[in-house]
Structures are given as structure tokens and as C-alpha cells.
Structure 1
Amino acid sequence: MLKPLSKKLNILFITTIMLIITCIMLILCKNYLRIEQANEIAFFQRMVTQMTYQLKDSSQGFASIINSYQEYSHPIFCSIQDTSGKRIYQTDSDFPTDADTLLEHFRIQTAKEKTFVIANDNQPVTEQSGIFEFSGTGKDNYLGIFATIVLPKDRAYHLSLIYRQQSLFDILTNQALLYLSLWFLSLIAVTVMSRLLIKKALQPSEVMLKSQKDFIASASHELKSPLAVILANTEKLEQLQIDHAEFRKSVKVLDKECMRMSKLVRDMLLLASSDAKSWTLCKNIIDIDTLLISLYETYEPICISKKICLRLDIEENSYPRFCTDEERLFQILAIYMDNAIHHSVNNKQIEIKTEATGKHITFLVADHGEGIHEDDKPYIFNRFYCADKSRTDKSNFGLGLSIADELAKMMHGKAGFKDTDGGGTTFFVTLPFK
């Protein structure tokens, strides 16, 4: 009974919680990226410092020391020059940007940052610059450090050390499986928790609604028999030849109220059948023209007695073949007609119209009465809802439109309403041809 509400609450709860979890994971992911980049910079700095002192203190050649650092997953590109600018040694580069371009970008960046050190030929010292970032020819980014190494006999060499940074995509790829797994596990956990909590929360309301509907169904069935007896006896009283004004008046009032009660019981039984899913459809190919003419002829005398003009607009072209339950459709249109007549005033017009497309047909009943107040529009199809809050109108129980809505849904259609041009309301039901 509360399934539509339960679904909406589930969607709202799951969406809200998952948005919060997603935001938290995005923050964690951003922090992870920042930490990874900081670790990468620190790793490069420590590696360069270690390499610099190894080159200074070791008797090994440049090649053997530098090549030992190429075994890392992210190797360093190294170019060594003497103080005159002559290239002494250079490692191979497998970076996206070629070595000469990298060195040119490196030289431009060092000049811009002014962080490199130039050894004094008179007093050479071993030093290294701060770390800086620059880009290659593509989307590849690099870290660079410029260092000066002083060997015995005051021989000085300049080192250009370049390290390729991991791209954001590379860093995220390493953790993508973990984050996706956590996200999907959270989704599963939140979905299960949402269903359990909402089901538990709505259970008392579900039990209460079921009890109410069971009571309405039982009461309606129990009222049928005494009501039938009262109606039969009222009819007998009407047939008695008693010429007494008060007696005849009382019998007339009794008959009127019995008819009202009979209509209410019938409507309640219909809704009870709808709740129990026991409504059935008897579908046949129907003649739409005949249906509309029957509706017109049924309500024409009532409209004439109330001085209401009833108009029937039938399409000039023949309607497509239409398979539906004619009795149920007539019942919906009859509810609309009763509603239109009730809210129309003298000399106003009620129109019965149709609108057909390739896939659907819409039946419309338009009145030119007082219309529906904006505050009442959201609830007009609710059970027992009455726009007349004072309940001075005793002929309306607020069940007719809810029955029309239930019937339309059962026929895979849609019931609705809109404002009529010039005032009033147009109620419609749209049904599929297939």
C-alpha cells in the first residue's frame, strides 16, 4: 500500500547518503593526490642528494653510479657537463619529450627560477639547487634539480637531473580499484540498510492502513443487506395509498437518503476491490462513436432538467480500432459527467470531446463552472477529499474521482484535469490504443 512512498524514500535516502560518501571519497582522493605528489618531490630530492654525494666521494665512474638509479620504476634523466659547458655524460631518455627539448626547457626554467648554482672556479663547492617543475611538449610534467659536484683536484661538473612526475591519471589508476570497490560496497550497504530502516519505519502505518481498508471492505459488505431491506420497505411505503403530507414527505426523504447511502456503499466496495486487486477487465473492440453517443443520451435529460447545454464533438474521421473494457471506460466518463453537472450553473455548457494520436486516445469532459481552487488541485484525486470543507454538500463523498483514477491506472491509462478556457475544469482520461 505504501510502496510508492517507500520507493521514493529509498531513492532519497540512498541518493543523499551516497552523495555524502562520494564527497568524502573525493576529499580523500584529493588529499591522496597531494600526499603522493609531495612524496614524489621528497623522493626525488633525497635521490638527487644521495646521487650527488656518491658521485663526489666514489672512485667509480659516472656511468656505473647513475645507471644504478635507472632501476627504479621512475628513472632519472641525467646530463653532466664540465665548467666549460662540454657534455661529459648523458643517460638515455625514454620520456615522451626528447632529451634536447627537455634540456632546453630545463635551462629556461632554471634561468627563470634563478635557483641554480654556478661554481666559482677559484673556490668550487658541491651544491644543488631547489626543486622546480616544468612541462614537456605534451601533457607530461617533470621535476628538475641543478647540481654542482666538485671532485678532487678541484674538478667541477654541473648536473642536470630530471624526473618525470606521475600524471594524475596514473596516480588515480593505482587506487581506482580500491576506491570503486569501496564505493560499490557502500552502495550495497546503504541500499540494504535503507530498505530495512524504511520498511521498519513504515510498518506501523502499513498495518494501520490495512486495518482501515479491511474495515471499509467489511463494513461495506455488511451494510449491503440492511440497506437492501430498507430500500425494499421504502418502496412498499411509497406504494401505499396513504394521503398524508407528512407521511409522503418522510418517505421521500427516506428514499433519497437510502439512495445516497447505496451510492456510498457501492463506491466503497469498488475501492475495496481495487485495494484487493480483484478488479477485472473485460476487453473487447469497441465503437468509440457509439460509446460517446450513449454517454450523451444518458446525460442529456439530466442536463435539460438543470438547464445546462450538453454538446458532443465527434471526430469527422473514423476512430482507429480500440480494444478496452467499455463498461469501465463508461464508468470513468460517467464520473466526469456527474462532476461536471454538479459544478455547472444554469445556461452553462458541458462538452464531451476526444483527441486521438497515433498511440493514444483522450476522452475529455469540459465544464464552464467555478473551476478548481489552486489549493485543492494537488488533492483532487485523493480518496474522501472534498473541496467543500464545510461538508454542506451531502451528495458528494469525495470518492468518484479517486475511483476514476484507479480505473484509469488499471486500464494502463492516465486520469487528469486542466483548466477550461474561459473558466471551469476539463477532466480527461488518456488510454493507449494497444
Structure 2
Amino acid sequence: MLNRLYKKLHLIFTGAVMLIITLIIGIVLMNDLKTEQMNENTLFQRMATLLIYQLEDHDQDMEASISPYEEKYSIFCLLRDSGGQPVYQSRIAFPTKADLLLERLEKQSGTQTALKSKTPPADGFGKAAATTQQGVFEIEGTSNDRYWGIPAQIASKSGDVYDLTLLYQQKNVWEQLKGHLIFYAVVWFTSLACVVFISHLLLKKALEPTERALKSQKEFVASASHELKSPLAVLLVNLDLIDGLGIDDSRLKKAVRTMDNECMRMSRLVKDMLLLASSDAGTWTLNQSSVDIDTLLITLYETYELLCQKKGISLSLDLSDCSYPVLYTDRERLMQILNIYMDNSLQHSKKQADIQIKAEFTGKTITFYVIDHGQGIAKEDKPFIFDRFYCADKAHADKTHFGLGLSIAKELAKMLHGQVGVKDTEGGGATFFVAFPLKTK
């Protein structure tokens, strides 16, 4: 039980912490991408400013000034004279045609590519107008690509005026992620390893007191059960001796019968507790062999046939028309599970009720059923019916059962790699089943 609890807590704790770490990494990664995009934008602006200054000073050798920016930074340049005629245009190929990008940039910036006059207007002091540069505009392409564009007007030292347009393709998200993915993946997996290790240590430390208490409890139950066997045996022997004396006293005989019944009841309880103690200690042994299912079902039917007749209960055996496959398992342990089911059905069935035994083979699974038409099981009791000492009869009116039988069936099925369960019988009652995967020797 503690192992299952540990696994669940470990999974929940690790999942919750890793979810928080993943969110933090995601936020940091988005900030890094945003910062990188801003840095890229700033770099483009700086390169544009440098290029404009160079063209302003060296208007006679414009191609030599533009080429380094094209080759190193993949900046697209379109330079036009005052009449709107291209002086220079880059040959850089973008996913979207340059003409469409230039048209969209022109719409956003509200500028005209052609200048109206060749000579820039002079200011009040007779000096030529200064070079102007607009801000950065973001342009969307046709293939999920995005660009930055900068329009500018250059007044060269020679007195000529040029219209300059610069374009720069932004890195897409995947290109940006590639530079960070490996680092953050290493951080994530390292965090996962640390969280798994730390949570393992913390949970083990936290569950140690509970584990010690449960271990002591199991040891106490096992020891007490063993110790109770001897005095119970002595009591039963002496009760048989008293009963054999032939003392004609009705009160004495009644007391002896009561004591005998209680001793037998205590003996069954001790036997069940020993079985569960053996399960907890992992000392149960299996003697696996090939089991003929038809023979097993017939044996179960014959075992309970007379008992059902005495209680006025109709017992039926439903054998399949098709032959069952051979099941490789521990026959005695399987029979013990079915006996528990039968005892439970007999206990909760009234006279003239029906109990049915059957098995079904579906695919690679064989399922055994014990179907009764008794009082059934309340919906709120079903999740706990296989728990130890759980009793649906809250008044504990029935003193012959202790709520251990079904829990023993569950432990036995677990040992045999099977699965127990219960469902409602159509028309009223309960259907207990145990399913086993078929396996060969």
C-alpha cells in the first residue's frame, strides 16, 4: 500500500514541480527570443545608419559601400536618384518578391520612392537640406516571413539627392529557437533528474515513520496470530473433553456449545490473519501447473452442491459449448478465490435464490464468475468491498465473518497476476469475478 502511495505522490510531486519549471523556462525562453529580436532590430538600425553615412560621404562609389552590408548582413538596398530611376538594387532573393515588399513598405511609411526635385531645398541660411532617416517598419511577407524596412533620403556632399530603401528579413521562430533549444533542453532534463532524486529522498524520509508503524503492525498481527493458535487448540481439545464427559446439565451443554462456536470463529479469524500476514511478508508460495477449467468448475460445483441444497438455494453450473483453453496457474490458490466468492454468495443469498458458476474465454483472458441474486452491494460500498476488515453491514449483525475473505481473494489474485472485481447482477444481486491472462508453461 505504501509503495502505491509513494509512486502516486512521487509522480504528482515531480509532475507539479516540472510543470512549474517548464513554465519558468518557457517564460525565460520567450523573453530571450524577444530580447534577441530587439537586438536584431537595433543592429539593423545601426547598420542602416552607418550605410547612410557612408553613402552620404562616398556617393561616387556607392556599390563598394553597399556590398559589405549585403554580404555580411544580407541587407537589401534599393537606391534611386531624384528622378525615381534605380541607381543600385541588391540581388538578394527573399521568399517574398522585393517589389511587393517595397510596395508594402511605401504604404506603411507614407513616403514616395521618387523625389520631386533633384536639388534639395535650402534652409534660411542657404545650406542644403540634411539627410533624413525614418524609423523601422515591420512588413509581412507572403510565406509567413517578416521583414524590417527603413526608408531614408540621402543628401550627398556632391549635392545630389537619393531615395534609399533598406530591407532585412527577420529570423523565424524556429531559427531563433535553434540557438536556445539545446541549452534549455539540457536545463530541463537536468532539472527533471534533480527533482526526481530530491523528491525520492524527501518522500522516503517522510514515509519512514508510517512504514515503520505499518511494519510493526504487520509483525504484531503475524506474531499474535501464531501465538493464538496454541491456546485455541488447547481450548478446543478441552471443550471436546468436557462434552465427552456426558454431564447431563443443559446449562453446561449450552455453555460448551457457545464456547465451541466462538473458538471456531476465532480459529477462522486467526487463519485469515495468518494468510494476510504471509502475503505481507511475501512468503506465499505458488505451485503452478496446467489447470483444466472444466474439471475445476465441476469440482467447485460438487463442493457446494449439498450445502446449497440444505440452505434451499439453487446452484447451477454454466459450461461453455466450446472447450476452454488450458490455464497455467496455481490450482489450489484459484480454488481458494472461488471458494471465497461462493461463501460470500451463500452468506448473502436467501432461500429459493439462485447462484450461478461460469467461466468465459475472450481473446487472451479467462474470467471466472460467481453470480448470485441476493441483496446486492450498495454503490457506496463497492470501492471498498475488497479492503481488509471492511464490512458493508455497519451494524456487524453477522458474527461469522470478519471482512477478510474478499481481501484475501484480492491478494491471491494479485499473486496469480489476475484481477478481481464485482458488478451488479441483472435483476438484483452481485456478480464477483476474477480474470487471468492466459499464459503457457
Tell me the amino acid that sits aligned with residue 34 of structure 2: R
Tell me the amino acid that sits aligned with residue 374 of structure 1: K
1:222-233 aligned within 5 A: 222-233=227-238
Give, in whole Å, the separation in 1 of the partners of 2:99 and 2:299: 93
Q: By how many angstroms is 1:70 displaced?
A: 3.6
Change (3 A) 1:118 1:88: closer
Q: Is the CA contact (8 Å cut-off) linking 1:102 and 1:136 kept in structure 2? A: no
Greater alpha carbon shift after TM alignment, 402-411 vs 284-293: 284-293
1:357-372 aligned within 5 A: 357-372=362-377
Q: Is the CA contact (8 Å cut-off) linking 2:74 and 2:92 kept in structure 1? A: no
Match among 141, 144, 150 for residue 139 of structure 1:
144
Tell me which residue corresponds to 2:124: none
Give, in whole Å, the separation in 1 of the partners of 2:51 and 2:7: 64
Q: TM-score, normalised by structure 1?
A: 0.94
Residue deviations 1:346-389, cap 9 Å, x none?
22111111111231111111111121112211111111111122
Tell me the amino acid that sits aligned with residue 430 of structure 2: T
Greater alpha carbon shift after TM alignment, 300-309 vs 393-402: 300-309
Tell me which residue corresponds to 1:52: 52
Q: By how many angstroms is 1:402 displaced?
A: 0.5
SS in 1 for 2:304: helix
Tell me which residue corresponds to 2:66: 66
Tell me which residue corresponds to 1:10: 10
Query: Which segments of structure 1 move beyond 6 Å, counting only runs of 4 or more?
Result: none
Give, in whole Å, the separation in 2 of the partners of 1:68 and 1:362: 79
Match among 204, 208, 218 for residue 203 of structure 1:
208
Q: Is the CA contact (8 Å cut-off) linking 1:418 and 1:425 kept in structure 2? A: yes
Does 2:37 correspond to 1:37?
A: yes
Tell me which residue corresponds to 2:79: 80
Tell me which residue corresponds to 1:26: 26
SS in 2 for 1:143: strand
Tell me which residue corresponds to 1:90: 89
Give, in whole Å, the separation in 2 of the partners of 1:61 and 1:46: 21
Tell me which residue corresponds to 1:150: 155
Tell me the amino acid that sits aligned with residue 340 of structure 1: S
Greater alpha carbon shift after TM alignment, 127-136 vs 361-370: 127-136
Tell me the amino acid that sits aligned with residue 279 of structure 1: W
Give, in whole Å, the separation in 2 of the partners of 1:344 and 1:333: 16
Greater alpha carbon shift after TM alignment, 297-306 vs 18-27: 297-306
Match among 237, 245, 249 for residue 244 of structure 1:
249
Give, in whole Å, the separation in 1 of the partners of 2:247 and 2:3: 57
Match among 161, 175, 179 for residue 170 of structure 1:
175
Greater alpha carbon shift after TM alignment, 271-280 vs 122-131: 122-131
Match among 99, 102, 108 for residue 104 of structure 2:
108
Tell me which residue corresponds to 2:384: 379
Does 2:209 correspond to 1:215?
A: no
Tell me which residue corresponds to 1:315: 320
Q: Is the CA contact (8 Å cut-off) linking 2:145 and 2:169 kept in structure 1? A: yes
Q: Is the CA contact (8 Å cut-off) linking 1:117 and 1:127 kept in structure 2? A: no
Residue deviations 1:126-154, cap 9 Å, x none?
21222212234433321111111111343
SS in 2 for 1:152: coil
Structure 1 residue runs of 5 or longer lacking an equivalent are none
Q: TM-score, normalised by structure 2?
A: 0.93
Q: Is the CA contact (8 Å cut-off) linking 2:367 and 2:436 kept in structure 1? A: yes
Q: Is the CA contact (8 Å cut-off) linking 1:359 and 1:432 kept in structure 2? A: yes
Give identity over the alignment, percent. Answer: 51
Residue deviations 1:277-314, cap 9 Å, x none?
11111112222222212211221222222222111111
Give, in whole Å, the separation in 1 of the partners of 2:94 and 2:322: 75
Structure 2 residue runs of 5 or longer lacking an equivalent are 122-128
Tell me the amino acid that sits aligned with residue 69 of structure 2: Y
1:182-193 aligned within 5 A: 182-193=187-198
Greater alpha carbon shift after TM alignment, 353-362 vs 335-344: 353-362
Residue deviations 1:58-102, cap 9 Å, x none?
466112222232453x321112111112221223315444xxx21
